[in-house]
């Protein structure tokens, strides 16, 4: 036990928890009726992951990204992806300029990707060429042009959005790029009560300014604490078994996976789930990751990574339902008790 990393002390974790609570409160204050979504997005940011928002226009995707940037005091750029958008429009390009000494040289003009938070609006409208240009930025957090690699500012997040109903003239994201998003978050419509509050409290839809902002030190402290959130081996084992069971030929795969899944999730999903579970534990103010943290993030982590077969399309089964079955049927502990024996909370 002496060789094991030291667990966070309450005195170390509590300030971080307080910061996350403040961030969530500010987000909830600025954007009404999206508490769980705010928590999920913050979980993604703490995990240093990219987020794909999927929802109808006008639901507040841009407002969400703008609010986060404002609260965290991070640079924010927004790119509207269109079919004629070229990689250079996103990454930047070299321009021939004359220097003061009279020489002409190629000067790099950074694109909008050189920011902390990039909102890639309607990312599926861009051509595959431009979508591919995002691969390196999302994974390596760097841009390589003319043989020169430039690091992006840290932290760097891509929050992309796509419209699920207007599919004509779009280029669905390839699996390789989808896999680079930590979460795919569904942006549902708000209920009538929230809408009434928005109408009465938000004239012209203007967002209120946050009355508290996190500093760069706060953000760095959060990332430092994140590194020390402890992932117990049984939980890591559960994540591994969960990801393995998404493959239809795996022994533990439930019936719905065998019936509807063509390809399961990648090891990147397991890594993402571990990180997201850590962030979820941090938001809950716990130094260790529990099974409930995994359950909280399993669906947004895996729902865009599962590739369903035609049978699922015929039966109108989506990834969310398959994952629900998977989470319900798989015992977290792997305890091999007889089926007629169960454990109940005292």
Q: Which of 89, 121, 179, 332 binds other proteins (CB under 8 A)?
A: 332
Taking a C-beta distance cutoff of 8 angstroms, is the pair 101, 140 a contact? no
Q: Using CB under 8 A, which of 7, 18, 56, 135 touches other proteins?
A: 7
Distance CA 265, CA 247 (A): 7
In angstroms, what is the minimal distance from the CB of 80 to other proteins?
42
**Rounded Cα gap, residues 32 and 122, in angstroms:** 23
Site string (230-249) toward other proteins, x via CB under 8 A: xxxxxx--------------
Check if the beta carbon of residue 29 is closer than 8 Å to that of residue 210: yes
| 203 lies in the site for other proteins, by CB under 8 A | no
Tell me the three state secondary structure of residue 130: helix
Q: Which of residues 138-167 bind other proteins (CB under 8 A)?
A: none
Alpha helices in 47-163 (DSSP H): 61-72, 87-91, 128-139
Minimum distance, C-beta of residue 233 to other proteins, in the bound complex (Å): 7
Cβ-based nearer residue to other proteins, 99 or 342: 342
Regarding 333 and contact with other proteins (CB under 8 A), the answer is yes
Whether 143 and 153 have beta carbons less than 8 Å apart is answered as no
Distance of closest approach, residue 88 Cβ to other proteins, in angstroms: 47
Stretch that binds other proteins, among 28-36, 94-102, 105-113, 224-232 (CB under 8 A): 224-232
What are 76's two structure tokens? 């924010």
Give the C-alpha distances (Å, rounded to integers) separating 339 from 112, 140, 336.
Answer: 56, 47, 9
User: Shortest CA distance to 10 belongs to which of 228, 214, 232, 213?
Assistant: 228
Rg (CA), the chain: 22
Whichever of 78 and 228 has its CB closer to other proteins, that residue is 228
Q: Does residue 252 belong to the site contacting other proteins (CB under 8 A)?
A: no
Q: Using CA atoms, how far apart are residues 192 and 207, in angstroms rounded to an integer?
A: 19
Residue with smaller CB distance to other proteins, 227 or 336: 336
Query: Of 83-91, 94-102, 254-262, 328-336, which segment contacts other proteins by CB under 8 A?
Result: 328-336
Contact map string, positions 90 to 129, toward other proteins, x by CB under 8 A? ----------------------------------------
d(CA 219, CA 19): 9
In angstroms, give the least distance from the CB of 245 to other proteins.
17
Q: Which is nearer to other proteins, 11 or 192 (CB)?
A: 11
Rounded to 5 degrees, what angle do the CA atoms 20, 134, 221 make? 20
Q: What would the x/- binding string for other proteins be over residues 280 to 299, using CB under 8 A?
A: -x--x-xxxxxxxx------
Q: Which stretch binds other proteins (CB under 8 A): 3-11, 21-29, 188-196, 264-272?
A: 3-11
Strands 307-308 and 261-263 come out as antiparallel
Cis peptide before 155 (omega within 30 of 0): yes
Binding site for other proteins (CB under 8 A): 1, 4-7, 9-10, 230-235, 281, 284, 286-293, 332-338, 340-346
């Amino acid at each position: 036990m002496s060789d094991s990393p030291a667990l966070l002390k309450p005195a170390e974790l509590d300030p971080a928890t307080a910061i996350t609570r403040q961030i969530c409160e500010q987000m909830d204050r600025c954007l009404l009726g999206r508490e769980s979504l705010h928590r999920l997005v913050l979980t993604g940011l703490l995990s240093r992951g990219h987020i794909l928002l999927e929802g109808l226009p006008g639901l507040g995707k841009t407002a969400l990204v703008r609010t986060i940037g404002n609260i965290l005091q991070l640079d924010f750029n927004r790119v509207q992806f269109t079919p004629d958008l070229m990689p250079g429009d996103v990454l930047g390009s070299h321009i021939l300029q004359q220097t003061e000494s009279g020489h002409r040289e190629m000067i790099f003009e950074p694109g909008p990707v050189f920011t902390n938070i990039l909102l890639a609006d309607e990312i599926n409208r861009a051509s595959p060429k431009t979508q591919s240009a995002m691969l390196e930025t999302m994974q390596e957090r760097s841009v390589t042009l003319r043989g020169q690699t430039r690091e992006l500012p840290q932290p760097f997040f891509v929050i992309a959005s796509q419209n699920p109903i207007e599919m004509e003239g779009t280029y669905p994201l390839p699996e390789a790029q989808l896999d680079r998003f930590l979460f795919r978050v569904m942006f549902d419509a708000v209920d009538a009560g929230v809408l009434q509050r928005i109408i009465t409290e938000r004239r012209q839809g203007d967002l209120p300014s946050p009355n508290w902002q996190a500093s760069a030190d706060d953000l760095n402290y959060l990332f430092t604490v994140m590194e020390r959130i402890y992932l117990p081996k049984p939980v890591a084992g559960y994540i591994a078994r969960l990801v393995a069971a998404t493959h239809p030929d795996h022994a533990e795969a439930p019936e719905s996976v065998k019936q509807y899944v063509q390809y399961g999730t990648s090891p990147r999903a397991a890594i993402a789930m571990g990180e997201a579970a850590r962030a979820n534990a941090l938001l809950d103010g716990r130094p260790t990751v529990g099974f409930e943290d995994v359950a909280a993030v399993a669906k947004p982590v895996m729902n865009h990574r599962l590739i369903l077969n035609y049978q699922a399309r015929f039966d109108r089964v989506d990834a969310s339902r398959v994952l629900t079955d998977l989470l319900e049927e798989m015992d977290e502990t792997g305890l091999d008790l007889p089926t007629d024996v169960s454990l109940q909370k005292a």
